[in-house]
C-alpha cells in the first residue's frame, strides 16, 4: 500500500517542478496503488452500491469466506437495523485465479434524499449512503478511465469533497487487464466512495479480458463484480441498460464493445428504450458510452466511427441532450453536433477519459482534424466532471482539473434542455423528431 507521506512528497515534487514552467504543467502517470485486505476472510470488502429500480439500491461486496450469507441489514439510524434483505451470490474463475464470493443484494423500497446505514453479511463495518432526491436539482459526478493510481486518488478525493448524488463512469474501471487481483485491489480502493453514493458504470475496452483460444469469454470479471440494473430496464445484457433519476432524467448506458448494428440486440433494445421516454415527463436525456464518436485527439482515432454510424441517428432523433465518453485520456467538449456538422438539435459530446489511469494522458491533439471547428475546448489533464441538472430546462456542466493537489474549474457551460427548444421539439408522427435544424456555429 502506498504510504501517505510518499504520495505527499510526489505532489510536492510535482508542484516545485511546475513553478518554473509557464502555465499548467501536465502531470506524468501516477504509480498504481495496491490496496490490500488485512481483515478476516469473512469480513466484507469491496463494498459498492448502485441504483436499481425506482426506489432501490443494490449492495455488492466480496468475501473470501464462501459461507458468509448474502444479507444486508439497514436502517435510518446508526447501528439500528430494522430492515433486512437477502440476495444472491456468484463467483468466477480466470485461469488459476478464483474469485471470492461476490454478493449482490437489492434493498428497498427506500425514501428519496435520505441517509441509510447498513451492514453486509451480518458482520463487519457499518456503511452509509444517501439516496438521490425525488425531484430536481440533481448533481452527477462523471469520471472516465479511472484506474487506481495516485492521480486516481487525487480525483476521487476531489469528488468526495462535494455533495453529489450519483457517480457515472463511462468505462475502464480497474485496468486489471487480466491480472485479476487488481480487480480486488480496485474494489478496496474505491470502497470509501462507492459505498456512499450509487456508482453507475458501463464497460470499456479494459474490461474485455479475453485471451486467444484459452479464455474466449469477455467481461467475466466485470459482469460478476459490477452488476447494473439491466434487467429492470428491459435489457438482456449487463453491458447496456438505462435508468431514471429524479423523475426528470433518463440515463442510457451503452456498450461500445458488444454488437451495436441495426440487427443487434443492443440496437433493438435502444430503439425500444428511447420510444418509452416521454419528454414531457422526462425533459433530460443523457447517454454514456466508452469510445468517442467525435475526437480530435490522435489517440484512438476512428474507433467509435462504426458505432456512430449505427446509433447516432436514433439518439439524434430522440433529442439526446449530452453524450459522455471516455477512452481518450484527456478532456474535450464539442458543440452540439450531428453527422459531423454543427447542429443545434444535436447532443453535446464530452470526452472525460481523464480519471487517473496508469497509461497517462493523451497529449496530442490534431489541429488539422476535420472536426476541429466543432471542438470548443480540449486539454490533456487529469480531472473529473460535474453535471448539475438544476431544473427542467437548465443544467450546469463543469470540468475540474487536478491542478497539483487542488481541483480547479477549467471549463464550465450552461446547457439548455433540447426539450425546451421549440425548434427541436419531437414529433411522434415522425417517429422521434421533427425537421432537423442546422446551426453552423
Catalytic residues: 300
Instruction: Specify the residue for cell string 431544473.
Output: 391
Q: What are phi and psi of 25, to 5 degrees?
A: -90, 125
CA–CA gap between residue 226 and residue 202 (Å, rounded): 9
404: its cell numbers: 497539483
Angle 352-271-439 (CA atoms, 0-180°, nearest 5)?
55
- The secondary structure of 60-104 as a DSSP string is EEEESSTTS--EEEEESBTTB--EEEE-EEE--EETTEE--EEEE
Residue 107 grid coordinates: 434493498
**Rounded CA Rg of the chain:** 21
Closest CA to 358 of 171, 151, 209: 151
Count of Cβ atoms closer than 10 Å to residue 214 Cβ: 7
Three-class SS state of 280: coil
**Which region holds residue 280: left if phi is over 0, alpha if psi is between -120 and 50, else beta?**
alpha
Distance CA 196, CA 129 (A): 4
Choose among 10, 141, 29, 11: nearest CA to 403. Answer: 11
Contact 307, 289 (CB under 8 A): yes
Strands (E), 131-240: 138-142, 166-170, 199-202
How many Cβ atoms are within 10 Å of 358's Cβ, its own excluded?
A: 18
Beta pairing class for 56-63 and 45-52: antiparallel
The SS3 call for residue 7 is helix
Residue 101 phi/psi, 5-degree rounding, is -80, 120
Hunting for cell 487480466 — which residue is that?
A: 178
Choose among 374, 376, 365, 363: nearest CA to 24: 363
Amino acid at each position: 500500500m502506498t504510504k501517505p507521506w510518499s504520495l505527499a512528497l510526489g505532489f510536492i515534487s510535482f508542484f516545485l517542478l511546475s513553478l518554473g514552467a509557464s502555465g499548467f504543467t501536465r502531470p506524468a502517470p501516477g504509480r498504481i496503488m495496491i490496496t490490500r485486505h488485512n481483515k478476516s476472510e469473512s469480513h466484507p470488502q469491496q463494498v459498492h452500491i448502485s441504483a436499481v429500480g425506482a426506489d432501490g439500491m443494490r449492495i455488492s461486496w466480496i468475501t473470501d469466506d464462501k459461507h458468509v450469507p448474502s444479507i444486508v441489514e439497514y436502517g435510518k439510524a446508526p447501528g439500528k437495523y430494522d430492515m433486512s434483505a437477502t440476495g444472491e451470490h456468484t463467483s468466477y474463475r480466470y485461469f488459476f485465479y478464483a474469485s471470492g464470493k461476490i454478493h449482490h443484494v437489492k434493498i428497498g423500497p427506500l425514501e428519496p434524499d435520505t441517509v441509510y446505514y447498513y451492514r453486509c453479511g451480518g458482520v463487519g463495518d457499518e456503511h452509509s449512503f444517501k439516496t438521490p432526491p425525488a425531484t430536481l436539482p440533481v448533481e452527477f459526478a462523471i469520471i472516465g478511465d479511472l484506474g487506481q493510481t495516485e492521480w486516481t486518488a487525487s480525483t476521487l478525493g476531489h469528488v468526495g469533497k462535494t455533495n453529489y448524488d450519483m457517480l457515472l463512469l463511462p468505462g475502464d474501471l480497474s485496468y486489471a487487464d487480466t491480472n485479476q487481483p487488481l480487480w480486488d485491489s480496485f474494489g478496496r480502493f474505491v470502497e470509501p466512495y462507492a459505498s456512499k453514493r450509487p456508482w453507475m458504470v458501463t464497460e470499456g475496452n479494459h474490461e474485455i479480458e479475453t485471451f486467444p483460444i484459452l479464455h474466449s469469454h469477455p467481461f467475466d470479471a466485470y459482469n460478476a463484480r459490477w452488476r447494473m440494473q439491466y434487467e429492470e430496464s428491459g435489457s438482456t445484457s449487463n453491458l447496456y441498460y438505462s435508468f431514471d433519476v429524479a423523475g426528470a432524467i433518463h440515463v442510457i448506458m451503452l456498450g461500445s464493445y458488444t454488437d451495436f448494428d441495426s440487427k443487434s440486440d443492443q440496437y433493438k433494445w435502444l430503439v425500444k428504450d428511447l420510444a418509452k421516454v416521454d419528454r414531457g415527463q422526462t425533459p433530460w436525456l443523457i447517454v454514456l458510452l466508452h469510445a468517442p464518436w467525435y475526437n480530435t485527439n490522435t489517440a484512438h482515432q476512428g474507433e467509435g466511427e462504426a458505432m456512430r454510424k449505427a446509433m447516432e441517428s436514433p439518439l439524434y432523433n430522440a433529442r439526446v441532450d449530452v453524450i459522455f465518453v471516455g477512452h481518450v485520456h484527456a478532456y474535450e467538449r464539442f458543440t452540439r453536433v450531428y453527422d459531423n456538422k454543427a447542429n443545434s438539435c444535436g447532443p453535446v459530446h464530452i470526452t472525460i477519459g481523464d480519471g487517473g489511469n496508469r497509461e497517462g494522458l493523451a497529449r496530442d491533439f490534431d489541429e488539422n482534424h476535420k472536426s476541429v471547428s466543432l471542438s470548443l475546448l480540449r486539454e490533456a489533464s487529469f480531472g473529473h466532471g460535474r453535471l448539475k441538472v438544476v431544473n427542467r430546462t437548465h443544467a450546469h456542466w463543469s470540468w475540474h482539473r487536478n491542478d497539483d493537489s487542488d481541483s480547479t474549474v477549467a471549463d464550465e457551460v450552461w446547457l439548455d434542455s433540447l426539450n425546451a427548444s421549440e425548434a427541436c421539439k419531437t414529433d411522434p408522427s415522425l417517429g422521434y423528431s421533427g425537421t432537423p435544424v442546422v446551426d453552423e456555429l
